[in-house]
Amino acid sequence: MIRSGKGGAGSAHLLRVKYNAKAGPDGGDGGRGGHVILRGNSQRWTLIHLKYTKHVFAENGQNGGDNLRTGRQGADQILDVPLGSVCRDAESGEILGEVTEDGQEVIVAKGGRGGLGNDHFKSPTNQTPRYAQPGEPAIERWVIIELKMLADVGLVGFPNAGKSTLLSVVSAAHPEIADYPFTTMVPNLGIVPYRDDQSFCIADIPGIIEGASEGKGLGLRFLRHIERNSLLLFMVSCEQLDIAREYDILLNELRKYNPELLDKQRLLAVTKCDMLDDTMMEQLRQHLPDGVEAIFISAVSGLGIMELKDKIWERLQ
């Protein structure tokens, strides 16, 4: 739960000095309450540091004083979060803010404004107002902060399609690799070196199964990471009997989850092709889906890896 600071009340003080017992109103304004702020920090990679932070309260503004003194402003509460973090209201689901740049600050709960002192309300017909404004109340709400990974390329495929193997070959990342489904339980990021000391970032997303958009498998927990990628690299093993059907199933799950994902650029990588010769590849090419460029690759033998990097770089530029 987060709560901003409430604004301090304005003062209704009346000035009395030695030779003038009715010197008029001199009440100062109340101070602003503290904000609750999310700040992007490129050195943070997870939200684990907030795991046990259940309540975040900003400081209240102080009340105004006599002699037109403004109350002190409440201290803000700043939460450092990794880039790609999204804060949403737990009840309504409304997105309160997104952090995508280092140092970017997003106010997710505004502090209440301080009330005006009685000095603001004096007039020729009301020279000694004995009232002042109260401060605005605090904003209190339950929020959910989730991380959507920022990457240039997102790997989309069924379990055991070879996503983690590809990431381990083209980058310095070391994801867990094994011969059973759902080996990858958390997203992995890898920086892929390219020509002329350039690079791009790949996100290895845990495998998607049919029905993932309805909550089956690990789908709903990780489909959100695909939303932030510039390019989607669909990966289907050449061992599948109908590659076009497998591709359509993956595409349909993305469509159900968020139709806007279909607007992203797409490439299809047919994996584990070290088992195929040229004739078999030509026969397989005739059964590939339409509307997407396909590349035959093998992370083990290195087949097509450089061509794949070239195609990805061309699309990203």
Residue 158: closest CA among 198, 117, 106, 216: 216
pLDDT in tens, 241-271: 788 888 888 888 778 877 787 888 888 888 8
In order of their start, the domains of the chain are 2-147 (2.70.210.12), 153-316 (3.40.50.300)
Please, what's the largest Cα pairwise distance for the chain?
A: 108
pLDDT in tens, 157-174: 877 777 778 878 877 666
- What pLDDT does residue 104 have? 93
Confidence of residue 181 (pLDDT cuts 50, 70, 90): very low
Q: Which residues of 224-241 are buried (b: 16+ CB within 10 A; e: fewer)?
A: bbbbbbbbbbbbbbbebe
pLDDT in tens, 220-234: 556 666 777 788 888
The number of CA neighbours under 13 Å toward the Cβ of 261 is 24
pTM equals 0.64
Distance set, CA 18 to CA 15, 22, 26 (Å): 10, 10, 16
- What pLDDT does residue 149 have? 65
pLDDT in tens, 9-61: 999 999 888 887 778 899 999 999 999 999 999 888 778 788 888 899 999 99
- What pLDDT does residue 71 have? 95
